[in-house]
Structure 1
Amino acid sequence: MRQRLRILTAAGLSALLLAGCAASGEKQGQTEYEVYFLSGEDANGAAVSAQTCRVEEGEETIQVLLDQLLAGPYESGQYSPFPQGTELRSWTLEDGVLTLDFSEPYGGISGVDLTLANSCLTLTLCQVEPVEAVRVTVEGETLPFQNADALRPADLLLSGAEEEPVYYTATLWFPRTTGEGLGVEYRQMMLIEGDSLVNMVFNAWLAGPVSESLAGPGVQDCFLLSGVAEGEVCYLDLSERFMDLLQGTESEVRLRLYSLVNTMASNLEGVSAVQLRVQGESLGSQAGLDLNLPLEADPTLEKS
């Protein structure tokens, strides 16, 4: 995870844009734009850098730039910020806001990685004259842990001095291998500006326990589509593979569900219940539990 980030001042951002951006170079029916990717560690600690893309007269500029972004850089020392398999489902431009809808892999990134991916999109596409801001969705849904709904270049975290990380000790609940209740394990995580605690706690739970006396969720290739805490409820929308967790005896399924609910409630201030959905759909009744409603945490399930 990259940590070399700081907020650019307005002057610093202007300098970056003027230094290389520009739809200012027009040559024989071509317009030059800068396409931004992750940069290798250079002397200035830059997190992103640009390469030139020429758009021919008559071509759809936004589509050409998007194609170049997803194709990846052609210069050495630059890297794509997008997960493998990311596809653009659609884009629309309305009142200066360019909405980009990506496939599921984009929803698997968070924190600084998400900030950098959004930065590359925003810096690249806000060069196009009608585009004032960029909004990103995944499978039609907004990622709630993003810093802003629509991003403008002035909103971005880019590069610079080292930020001090914040260390957080997460309380993780897992079923006991004996099948009798839940056990608790603690794990230290490092958070920096832009990280989502909801996403980091969920991923720590999904990775499973260290102790051999505890059992992991047993879910492979599952990821969080969106996660947000509002009041006493944490809302989690999960990918389809989460349904694998619901396989097994009623007792096993109940303990797995409560292990997730207790984990989120233990780490998110004020949260006492979790509303679970899979790709936006309710889970109905599972293992004798009504999952149409938020499931309340149950700390009495802890067994030593």
Structure 2
Amino acid sequence: MMRKTKCLALIFLAVCLILVFAGCGRTFGWLEGDAEDVVTTEVTHGVYWMDLGETKLMKVPYEIEGASTEEMIGLCIEGLQKTPEDNAYKSVLSGDARVVDYTYQSGNKLATIYFDESYNKQSKAREILVRAAVVKTLTQFCDEIHYVSFVIGTEPLMAKDGTLLMMRGKDFVNSISGSMEYVREDYVTLYFASEDGTKLQAEDVIVKYLSRINLETAVVNSLISGPFSDGLKPVLSPEIVVNKVNVKEGVCYVDLNKKFLERVEGQSFELNIYSIVNSLTQIAGITRVQFLIDGVIFDGAVEGTRIDGMFEKNMALVYRPESKAPESLIELPKSDDALKKDIEQQLKENGVAQKQETK
């Protein structure tokens, strides 16, 4: 009788464990042989939907396995066109956002998406969400796709300065409170820790922010968020709170909480200071930076460094890679501007209008 009771208890326990694991929403596979009994798999790819109010995006799992980059682009577009099963969301490639073709340039790692002319009929808010969804979906394959450009009808989508708009996934956020028309964007240079944590190293990014905050605040928040590039490390604690950042007579006053005084991974406190100072002083009109801690000037010192004075740019802390071969033997990477000029020339030579006529 006791043996029977124990068997029933074990069966009951096994059933409970299966129900608990099933409730976790994971996929389990029972394997034979010496392998693990339970394998948990995670969907790594996804596409983006927008909410019904057209104010934010949501990434949903969507497996994308293509034999080539061109095939992956096609599968991404197919996923973006699907009608969501969740009634709270809708696809971004619907209505006036109709894709008619796409191309891929492996040399520039650029995907170009061709839209019908009706694309221009969208509201500005919706158009930004469509752009964000397409670019973020495609650039998740970062080894193959670094940039995405749009062609509307026969006209390439251009930046404010008249050059080809080459977009990256990190240029966009997933949601914007309030009207999308209030979004601003600026190209800035941010300074993070080098790989060995002894120097600062520059990273050029596009910062997007709402009109209710200024560029200086956006820059400091971007520094706290950390770098995108491999080989760069965060300088500032992610727990730093930005109380206020404002500029007066060439001085940028940066008010942070006490977490600013903490070093990250044992790095020199000078990096905390000059990651902010060097990033802010490259903005026109700012020559010096004054730090405050919770609204007051901090009269103490960290590692013997006081921050109660004003700081100017210090490029001595910035790492500059040395050439390992004569310059004539090195093929220098092209800048974004050079890439844009090359691509614009290719579009002109190939004839975007001619391409559209062959549809």
TM-score by length of 1: 0.43
**Larger strand proportion of the pair:** 1
TM-score by length of 2: 0.37
**Larger helix proportion of the pair:** 2
Larger Rg: 2
Q: Which has the higher contact order (CA 8 A, sep 6+)?
A: 1
